[in-house]
Structure 1
Amino acid sequence: MWDFDTFKTLAAMRATFPFILFRLLIYIGIGLAYALGIGTGAGLGYAFTAFAGDPGSGAGIGGILGFGAVSGVLYWAREYLLYLVKAGHIAVLVKVLQGETLPGGKGQIDYAQGIVRQRFAEASSLFLLDQIVKGVLRAVNGLLMTISFLLPIPALEGLMRMVQRVLNLSLTYVDEIILAYSLRTESTNPWAAGKDGLILYAQNYKAMLKNAFFLMIIQYGLALLIFLLILGPVAVLVGFISQGLAPWAVPVAIVFAWSFKAALLEPFAVAALMQAYFKLIEGQRPNPEWDEKLSRLSSQFRELKEKALGAG
């Protein structure tokens, strides 16, 4: 049905528990930052408009501004989150799936970040590679959807929307799988490894999308369950702070559900897709025909090839 072993994926999660805990602390911290930003903004807005006789509108505007302020800070910090958190976890997941034993505790985090620094001396180079890979994947997924847009059959619209969601899920994590490929090959030229990893993905895109479909169902189902479980306690807490903040219970619950998803569910999806990808490409070489197709399709793939040649 799919090309990954669920028990092996869970075992990889257990083996990298220090990183899971690290991610959990960071993403719960992000959730708390959103809650604090919304609460502070709403409180200030309420105070400023209380004398005008309409404090509720001020609280709503203040909450939106607080949410926006936290989002702006996180947008600026996303490059370092990728470098310190996601890439490090991918590095140790690769080692676990290769059967290696990892250090425990904080030593595992230091070990992982050491691996990443060996391949990428600066966060900016990893971030640039990640953005180029995402651009190529968008072009590939856009090509796969072209046929559906050329065939305006109403009965297929719902199906194609589902296919688009699967493609988006694939795009969400495949850039991390390409990074895993680079770390697994221990290439001294990450641009060349990224190029080869993309070609191998394109050669196996049908099987990868099949795996992404099952992971989408698992991930969103569990995320919805988490949201429903925490909505009640969050609503009670928000109502206790201020009745004027009651409408913010759902957004705050969504933020915390996202935090748990990013900390727990995303690593599961990445480890599972990583297994599937490595299994599918076993014994394969990058096909020159796909190299040519991607070169015609994407200017960013051509840029990646140029960087690979320059670094070689």
Structure 2
Amino acid sequence: MVLHFGKATGIYLKTMPFVLLRMGIGLLLGIVSIVYFGVIGWLAWTFVDAETISGWVAIVALLIALVLFIKAWQLLVKYVLYLVKAGHIAVIAHIVQTGEVPSNQISYGTGKVKEHFTEASALFAVDQVVKAVIKQFNRRVLSFSNLVSFVPTLKQIIEFVGRAVAIAASYIDEAIVAYMFISDEENRWKAAGDGLVLYAKSWKPVLGSTLLIVGGMYVAALVLFLALTPLASVLSGLSTTFELIGWVVVVGLVLTVYSGLLKPWVKTVVITTFLIEAQDKTPDSKTRQEIENRSEKFKELLNRAETEETTTEQSDQDSPVTPA
């Protein structure tokens, strides 16, 4: 198995503007979340303490505030954060394909997303189906765990590996999206189908390297957490409040490094590995049929590709022809 960690790391460093942008957005959202729940909690405590409202009313109000926050978060992820994430993917794919870094990569990346998808929800819809197909494909790859059920220890090991593969595979859908950005296919669903076929033909090096780097990422996060725990321990000698603040700072720093620096690096490695391993391969009907026979979601994707192609053809036929 050929590892592409060095090249991927170089590309990761070249896309640092996107990495820093995502980290900045994450920090801002973290601060907003703390302030939001802090204010809501303070208001609930104040009204209950003043006996203005009962405890049950406060609990209901907190639940409503939580639901509103989750809904707002989902909309933000779907229409804003996903656009930034997809823009970063587009830039990574461009660098892997051409070796060149766009002069204004943030503008270039978001522009490519809007060029390929009229709205963020369209990309989100494609990505959800791609994720489902990848899960079904990897589940089939590991289906041999049922054959060793008579050996409990071995079965547990294989199930553990299966869970690790599920975590690693969550990054692979981004590699398929990257392929869609550099594909000449205008039909986004067909491009996604071609990308999945290429993944099926090169899944071993892609999934293998992803497992290694995801494992390393969790180890690095754990080491960072253990290295920062003395901070909370020192503050615990002052007061319980300072100890709590110390743990919040420790967890916040670990999550910032994990989500802001490590996860984008893993994503870059997975995308780079997939695009390099798939560049000499072509989507073939045999592999496509094998996936279709084992994945209902892949059939759904192909049906959507046919529907979009038919719609495009009808639109072209209905459009007026301008006389010369």
Specify the TM-score bucket, using the shorter chain as the normaliser.
0.7 to 0.9
Deviation track 1:7-63 (CA, whole Å, cap 9, x = no partner) reads 3222212211211111110111222233334433443444345468xxxxx999998
Q: In the alignment, does 2:92 pair up with 1:88?
A: no
* Alpha-carbon spacing, 1:102–1:191, altered in 2? closer, same or farther (3 Å): same
Q: Counterparts in 2 of 1:12-161, with a 5 A limit?
A: 12-50=11-49, 70-81=69-80, 83-104=82-103, 107-152=104-149, 153-161=151-159
Q: Which residue of 1 aligns with 2:188?
A: 190
Q: Distance in 1 between matches of 2:222 and 2:232?
A: 15
SS in 1 for 2:283: coil
Instruction: Indicate the residue corresponding to 1:219 in structure 2.
Output: 217
Contact preservation (8 Å) 1:203, 1:287 = no
Please say if 1:296 is aligned against 2:293. yes
Q: Distance in 2 between matches of 1:233 and 1:132?
A: 44
Shift of 1:82: 5.0
Kindly provide the CA deviation profile for residues 142-169 of structure 1, in whole angstroms up to 9, marking residues without a partner as x: 2233321353221124422331233222
CA contact (8 A) 1:91 1:180 kept: yes
In the TM superposition, what is the alpha-carbon distance from 1:131 to its structure 2 partner?
0.6
Q: Assess if the C-alpha contact under 8 Å between 2:93 and 2:181 holds in 1.
A: yes
Q: 1:245 to 1:157 in 2, by over 3 A?
A: farther
Alignment coverage as a number of residue pairs? 305
1:128 maps to amino acid: A
2:301 counterpart of 1:281:
no
Equivalent residues in 2 for 1:169-184, closer than 5 Å = 169-184=167-182
Deviation at 1:175, TM superposition (A): 0.8
- Structure 1: distance between partners of 2:240 and 2:284: 61
Q: Which amino acid aligns with 2:92?
A: L
Q: Which moved more, 1:111-120 or 1:81-90?
A: 81-90
Q: Say if 2:236 is the partner of 1:203.
A: no
What is the rounded CA distance, in whole Å, between the counterparts of 1:150 and 1:65 in structure 2? 48
Alpha-carbon distance in 2 for matches of 1:306, 1:39? 48
- CA deviations 1:169-189 (Å, max 9, x no partner) are 232111100001111224312
Deviations 1:249-270 (A, max 9, x none): 7577546533432221122111
SS at match of 1:290: helix
Structure (1 or 2) with the larger CA radius of gyration: 2
Q: Which moved more, 1:166-175 or 1:219-228?
A: 219-228
Cα distance, 1:44–1:225 mapped onto 2, change above 3 Å? farther
Contact map agreement 2:168 2:214 (CA 8 A) in 1: no
Q: Distance in 2 between matches of 1:131 and 1:60?
A: 34
112-121 or 221-230: bigger deviation? 221-230
**Helix, strand or coil: the match of 2:282?**
coil
Note closer, same or farther for the CA distance 1:62–1:230 as it changes in structure 2 (3 Å cut): farther
* 8 Å contact from structure 2 (residues 235, 243) kept in 1: no
Structure 1 residues 77, 41: CA separation in 2 closer, same or farther (over 3 Å shift)? same
Query: C-alpha displacement at 1:86, in angstroms?
Result: 1.0
Q: TM-score, normalization: structure 2?
A: 0.80
The whole-number CA distance in structure 2 between the counterparts of 1:305 and 1:20 is 34
Q: Which amino acid aligns with 2:298?
A: F
Partners of 2:4 and 2:290 in 1: how far apart? Answer: 32
- 2:232–2:243 Cα contact (<8 Å) kept: no
Q: Of 306, 309, 322, which residue of structure 2 is paired with 1:309? A: 306
In structure 2, do the counterparts of structure 1 residues 286 and 238 end up closer, same or farther at CA, with 3 Å as the change threshold?
farther
Shift of 1:74: 1.6
Aligned equivalent of 1:55:
none
* Unaligned 5+ runs, structure 2: 52-56, 310-324
Residues 60 and 42 of structure 1: CA distance in aligned 2, closer, same or farther (over 3 Å): farther
Q: Distance in 2 between matches of 1:18 and 1:71?
A: 28
> What root-mean-square deviation, in Å, do the aligned CA atoms of Structure 1 and Structure 2 show?
3.6
Higher alpha-carbon deviation: 193-202 or 250-259: 250-259
**2 CA distance for matches of 1:204 and 1:244?**
52
Q: Which runs of 5+ in 1 are unaligned?
A: 53-57
The yes-or-no answer on 1:263 pairing with 2:260 is yes
Show the counterpart of 1:164.
Answer: 162
Change in 2 beyond 3 A, CA 1:68/1:35: farther
